[in-house]
Amino acid sequence: MFDGFIDTRVGVGEVELRVRYAGQGLPVLLIHGHPRTGSTWHRVAPRLVSRGFTVVCPDMRGYGQSGKAELRADHLQQSKRAVAGDMVRLMAELGHSTFAVVGHDRGCYVVLRLALDHPGAVSRLVVMDGVPISEALARCDARFARDWYHWFFFAQPDKPERAIAADPDAWYDSARPQTMGVENYRELREAIHDEATVRAMLEDYRAGLGVDRDHEEADRRAGRTVRCPTLFLWSTRDDMEDLYGDPLAVWRSWAPDLRGEPIESGHHVAEENPDDLAAALHRFLA
C-alpha cells in the first residue's frame, strides 16, 4: 500500500498522528470513518496523486496508530471539534495553510466541523455517506433506531467495550481481506484488537450524541453555513436514500454551494469502487 508515500508521525499538540502523504499540487486531506484507518484510502490516494494532487491520509486521533487523548467525562477529547483542530495543525505542519477536505462516514462529521470552524483553511469540501449528526437525530425513527442501533449502543458506558473485546472479528464481520486489500485488512484488525483504540473509537460516538450535536445546533442558531463549494457523494448500495429520500435536500441548508451524485458501491466506496470515486473527486477538486 501507498508506494511512494511518506509514512510518519506528526505531533499536533495533545496527540501525535500517524500520517501518509505524497504528491505535488493542490493539497487534499482524506479522512476515514469507523472503524477504518487512513489505509482505507490506499486505492484512491495513488490515483489522486497521479492526477496531480498532494494527498494526505492520517489516522484520526484515537483511531489506528494515532495517539489517544486522555478520556474526559464530557467526551470533548474525541469531539469533532478536537479532531478538526488536529487536522488544521497537521496540514500546517506539512506546509498547507489551505486545502480541500474529503470525509467518509464518521470522517464526514469531522470535515463538516473543519469547514465550519476553520473556513479560511478549507477550499473545497467533500462529504460522503452521511448527513450532519443533528439532522440524523432529528429524523430518528424506528427504522433508524433499528438499522443504526450502534450509535446508541456505542454511547453507553463500558458495555460496548466488553461486547467488542469478546470477539472483535465477529463484531466487525463485514471486513474482508479480498475486498479491503490484505494490508488494509491487517491494519483494521490491529485496530479492533487494541483495547485503547476501541475505547477511543467508542468515544467518537459518545461525543456524537452529546457535544457534537450541541456544536451543530449552536451553528444552526447562529446561522453558520459552509462557505466553500461542497460535494456530497453517496453509495448506491448504502441507505442514504432509504433514510432521507433526497440526501442533498438535507445538506442544502448547511452548504449553499452544493452539488452531489451517487456512486455505484456499498458503504466502503474507497475500497469497493476507487476508480469512480477518484474520478468524481478529480472533477470536483480540479
Tens digit of pLDDT for each residue in 112-137? Answer: 999 999 999 999 999 999 999 999 99
Residue 98 has pLDDT above 70, yes or no: yes
| 155 confidence band (pLDDT: 50, 70, 90) | very high
User: What does the pLDDT look like over 229-242, one tens digit per residue?
Assistant: 999 999 999 999 99
Enumerate the β-bridge partners of residue 9: 18
Helix/strand/coil (H, E, C) string of 187-212?
HHHHHHCCHHHHHHHHHHHHHHHHHH
Q: What is the mean pLDDT of the chain?
A: 97
CATH tag, 6-285: 3.40.50.1820
Residue 178 has what pLDDT?
85
The grid coordinates of residue 139 equal: 429524523
Helical pair 159-166 and 195-207, crossing angle rounded to 10 deg: 140
Residue 286 has pLDDT above 80, yes or no: yes
- Across the range 38-65, mean pLDDT stands at 98
Residue 153 has pLDDT above 70, yes or no: yes
User: What does the pLDDT look like over 85-95, one tens digit per residue?
Assistant: 999 999 999 99
- 0.85 cut: is pTM over it? yes
DSSP, residue by residue, the chain:
--TT-EEEEEE-SSSEEEEEEEESSSEEEEE--SS--GGGGTTTHHHHHHTT-EEEEEPPTTSTTS--PPP-TT-GGGSHHHHHHHHHHHHHHTT-SSEEEEEETHHHHHHHHHHHH-TTTEEEEEEES---HHHHHHT--HHHHHHTHHHHHHTSSSHHHHHHHH-HHHHTTT--HHHH-HHHHHHHHHHHT-HHHHHHHHHHHHHIIIIIHHHHHHHHHHT----S-EEEEEETTSSHHHHHSSHHHHHHTT-SSEEEEEESS-S-HHHH-HHHHHHHHHHHH-
- Across the range 140-148, mean pLDDT stands at 93
Residue 176 has what pLDDT?
84
Residue 194 has pLDDT above 90, yes or no: yes
Q: How far is it, in rounded angstroms, from Cα 71 to Cα 171?
A: 24
| 181 confidence band (pLDDT: 50, 70, 90) | very high
| 173 confidence band (pLDDT: 50, 70, 90) | confident
Residue 174 has what pLDDT?
67
- Give percent above pLDDT 90 in the chain: 98
> Which residues are designated catalytic?
105, 267
Residue 262 has pLDDT above 80, yes or no: yes
- Give percent above pLDDT 70 in the chain: 99
The grid coordinates of residue 125 equal: 469540501
How many CB atoms within 10 Å of residue 192?
A: 18
- Across the range 56-66, mean pLDDT stands at 98
